[in-house]
Amino acid sequence: MPPSPLSPQVSIVVPLYNGADRIERALDSVRAQTHAAWELFVVDDCSSDAGPEIVRDYISRTADHRITLVVQAENRGPSAVRNDGVRMANGQFIMFLDCDDELLPGALTHLLGLAAGGPVDIVGGAHIARTDSGRLSPRPDSQTGSMTGVEAVQGLLQERIWNYTHGKIYSRQLLQSVSFREDIRRYEDIIFNACAFSYSKQVVLSAEPVHVYSINGQSTTWTQRLTADFVHDTEAHIREGLNPDVAPQVSGKSWRTMRATLAVVVLSNAIAGDAEPAVLSELRRVLRRNVKMTDLPDVVRTAPLIGISALVARVAPRIYAWLYRRYVARTYELGA
């Protein structure tokens, strides 16, 4: 029997682009929720595979009219797709789910239960990383509990809060003030979350896992060509988008840590993606410019792994590249 219609409390937005082999698993995970008052928009961004047809068949087969397929006229990228989904949403809260990820069955019940404690703008739970072999690794935020918006911004920039949008519900009212930048296709999550946190009065983060994040070696994270602009522009976009009342409260230590994180992550992803030597040399120069030796004590105290990585990458780049490739192979089962 199809589920009875309910006024949705949560609107779930799923960007779809060439996810034919994964989308049904994501949809199944939403339909398995113990909380039933949701609606789901699958927004197809001009896929070249059978993904849209699979979704149409899924809706017909399940007769679940809480699910709507929206097909874009042109490819505009995941940020535009998410913004379009927000505009269609009717729920009190909005959630973003990638087509290759899943929700755990009690995710909505848990998050909405936390939101019921008072006026909350953002509620989030932990995620579990899943490799291709099926190995699961819980990855909670280091900073959890109830916090102000500025506390959440500081935690995000200081690597105590994961930058992902997944596993979170955002109040629809908040998203009238904040949206995804549609002119970028990389690191949009950290930019969006920093800005969303800065406009929030209260953020609640839980260590309870609610989301399964799939490590996919073919995703943009691992395959996109990386340049110095990803370091410079991401910081500029965050500074530009922060609530002007909150921005002056963000500490210099937070900015130094975030700058080091960006420089290390961009270089590391380029190493994992076997970027050309000229690109790696440029990114090492960016790291040396953006992470001064005088910054490292602060960064090591705040985000030890990032600080140590930055130091090793500066003084022994070949050793760092070797170590990082081994780390990626062992942790994510990617590469040799």
Domain ranges of the chain: 10-220, 251-331
Beta strands in 60-121 (DSSP E): 67-71, 93-96, 102-103
Better-scored residue on pLDDT, 334 or 296:
296
pLDDT in tens, 67-86: 999 999 999 999 999 999 99
What lies within 8 Å, CB to CB, of 301 at 6+ separation is: 307
> Which tokens belong to 121?
């703008």
Q: What is the pTM assigned to this prediction?
A: 0.94
Note the pLDDT of residue 2: 47
Backbone CA torsion sign across 324, 327, 328, 329: positive
Average of per-residue pLDDT values in the chain: 93
Q: Which amino acid is at 63?
A: A
CB 121 within 8 A of CB 200: yes
* pLDDT on residue 4: 46
Q: pLDDT tens digit string along 127-169? A: 999 998 899 999 999 999 999 999 999 999 999 999 999 999 9
Asked if residue 18 has pLDDT above 80, the reply is yes
Whether 225 has a pLDDT exceeding 80, the answer reads no
pLDDT at 217: 61
What's the average model confidence in pLDDT over 230-242? 93
Residue 96 CA from chain centroid, whole number? 9
> How far is the CA of 16 from the CAs of 7, 85, 99, in angstroms?
25, 12, 6
Give the model's pLDDT for residue 333: 85
Residue 315: its pLDDT value, please?
95
Mean pLDDT confidence for 174-203: 94
Supply the CATH classification number for the domain 10-220. Answer: 3.90.550.10
Q: What is the mean pLDDT of residues 112-117?
A: 94
Flag whether pLDDT at 91 surpasses 60.
yes
Instruction: Give the mean pLDDT of 252-256.
Output: 96
What's the pLDDT tens digit per position in 22-81?
999 999 999 999 999 999 999 999 999 999 999 999 999 999 999 999 999 999 999 999
Structure tokens at 18: 């060439």
Looking at residue 1, its pLDDT comes to 38
